[in-house]
Amino acid sequence: MFETKMKSFLKKVIAVVRKIPKGQALSYQEVARQAGSPRAARAVGNILHNCGGVKEGIPCHRVVKSNGQIGGYAHGTKKKTTLLKKEGALK
């Protein structure tokens, strides 16, 4: 049952992240809330770290910390910052 819940949450997280438009970003906490588990921000980070990213059609670079900091990124924070600036989410 736990595994089924995790797969369901994973699918919801990916769906939320895929809907984030270029030039915008959501916090890990907001993604968790929209996926139905508002206290699961850390789980969102773990999912996004292992999801395959942009090459899989998942713009995980558009998810940042709720305090406005960039947060982690599997390809490095410099790459994440570059992508966000290119899309207009950062100045």
> pLDDT (tens digit, 0 to 9) for every residue of the chain, 91 residues total?
656 666 899 999 999 999 999 999 999 999 999 999 999 999 999 999 888 776 678 999 999 999 989 998 888 999 999 999 999 998 7
CATH fold of 2-86, please?
Arc Repressor Mutant, subunit A (1.10.10)
Burial zone of 25 (CB within 10 Å; 0-12 exposed, 13-18 middle, 19+ buried): buried
pLDDT at 66: 95
For residue 20, what are the contacts with CB-CB under 8 A and spacing of at least 6?
A: 26, 59, 62, 63
pLDDT at 2: 53
Write down the catalytic residue from 16, 44, 60, 89: 60
The yes-or-no answer on residue 51 being catalytic is no
- Domain coordinates in residue numbering, the chain: 2-86
pLDDT at 68: 86
Query: Is 0.95 surpassed by the pTM of this model?
Result: no
